Amino acid sequence: MPADTKTGNPAPLGLVGFGLTTVLLSMVNAKLLPAEGEVVVIPLAFAFGGTAQLIAGLLEYREGNTFGTVAFTSYGAFWWWFGLLVIFGENGWISLDGATTTLGVALILWGVFTTYMWIATFKLNWALWSVFLLLAVTFFLLGFGDYLGIGWLGVAGGWVGLITGLDAMFVSFAEVANWAYDREVIPLGGAPLKSKSGRKTQPAD
């Protein structure tokens, strides 16, 4: 967005809220950090991954951006779901015994959702296209790892999730830098698919 506009672009906030939280959790999933470190992720999931994305989604609604509204509010709600699931389970408010298969299905469903959001990014830009593709792969690896009880799939999902989070943080950085300098200093790439007029469509944000 040009620097002289009256409203800011909420997408970088949503992207970094998602990306930073994903990086930290993925480092635990990839076994780069101890499993006990997951307790550090939970408050971050509520405060930044969850709440910041929900705020970004509401702001995207005001901007008339359907894609941004659906994406940020949905993944913000995902982090709230994840945080509540861990807290309720750890405190004994709900029993997670025997729930691994169901958890796997839940993550697979998030992969399905992310896949149809990824399809929409073909009309946005290559940067978002890559984030949603990687995120879909992450969900499927984590989901099938839990559903099938194959540990290395979860570890692989952690590594892909780490790349996904860093990718989202890069897109956030690029959008903030481009706004600050009021020009494209960090290209995000045109849309993978062209519009009917033959011109590449512009990103929604």
96-136 pLDDT per residue, tens: 888 899 999 999 999 999 999 999 999 999 999 999 999 99
3 pLDDT more than 50: no
Instruction: Report residue 116 as tokens.
Output: 């149809």
Q: Whole-model pTM above 0.85?
A: yes
CA distance 118 to 134: 9
